[in-house]
Structure 1
């Protein structure tokens, strides 16, 4: 019998930033909205069912325009979890938040984007990552 295999190539053409910030996600979203004239809004939390073992719940903020999407995720799972690594991206567990910018908006934000965020007292550290280097990059596909 012949076996068919489905190969899917996902699009990882987005900018990805890890943010270290001691504030709650709604306060960080509010600060990003004020700094960059956006409208990040709370969306339904992301639920990852991990093969019946446990559920990973991730806080999710989103701003959609005609040509781009900006997403802010809390990297650590909400609530108690029995998972060994309760993170959206365990590769970068040192970061509290993940900011994903896709579409034309990633071209509009110059390198001063990082320095603008660091100028606020809400963000302690920020680093840009290449999504292709992350082991759990599939968690960012929606």
Structure 2
């Protein structure tokens, strides 16, 4: 019997930052709101049901304007998960949080944002990633 596989190629047109921070997500969101003059608001958790393997529950905060969107995502599942790698982006599991910026300009420009994130006391380390190079980039399609 012939089998067919569906290959999808996602084009990610956003900036992605990995953040190492031992603080809780609401404290980090508050610090980002104060430092960057944002209004990150807690959204409903993103749930990925992975059929028989388990599910991922990802905490997320959103700041949206007419031109740009910034989303703070927790990389590890909030709920205990039977998955071996309960991460939104398993290929960069070393990072506690991910920041996704779409159409970033001004204070949300990638270089300016990188400097501001690195200056925050709650952030130990920050790194910028090319989302198209990630193996699990389809997890960012919501």
Q: State the TM-score, normalized to the length of structure 2.
A: 0.89
Q: Could you report, residue by residue, the CA deviation over 1:43-68 in whole angstroms, capped at 9, with x for unpaired residues?
A: 00000000232111000111111111
In the alignment, does 2:126 pair up with 1:93?
Answer: no
Match of 1:107 in 2: 105
- What value does the CA root-mean-square deviation take over the aligned residues? 1.7
Question: What is the CA-CA distance between 1:117 and the residue it aligns to?
Answer: 1.7
Partners of 1:22 and 1:102 in 2: CA distance: 25
Q: Could you report, residue by residue, the CA deviation over 1:10-42 in whole angstroms, capped at 9, with x for unpaired residues?
A: 441100000000000001111111111110000
Structure 2 counterpart SS, 1:111: helix
Question: What is the CA-CA distance between 1:7 and the residue it aligns to?
Answer: 7.3
Partners of 2:46 and 2:78 in 1: CA distance: 10
Partners of 1:6 and 1:97 in 2: CA distance: 30
Partners of 2:6 and 2:71 in 1: CA distance: 29
Unpaired segments of 5 or more residues in structure 1?
none
Structure 2 counterpart SS, 1:28: helix
Match of 2:41 in 1: 41
Change (3 A) 1:120 1:8: same
Report the count of equivalent residues: 136
In the alignment, does 2:74 pair up with 1:79?
Answer: no
Unpaired segments of 5 or more residues in structure 2?
none
Q: State the TM-score, normalized to the length of structure 1.
A: 0.89
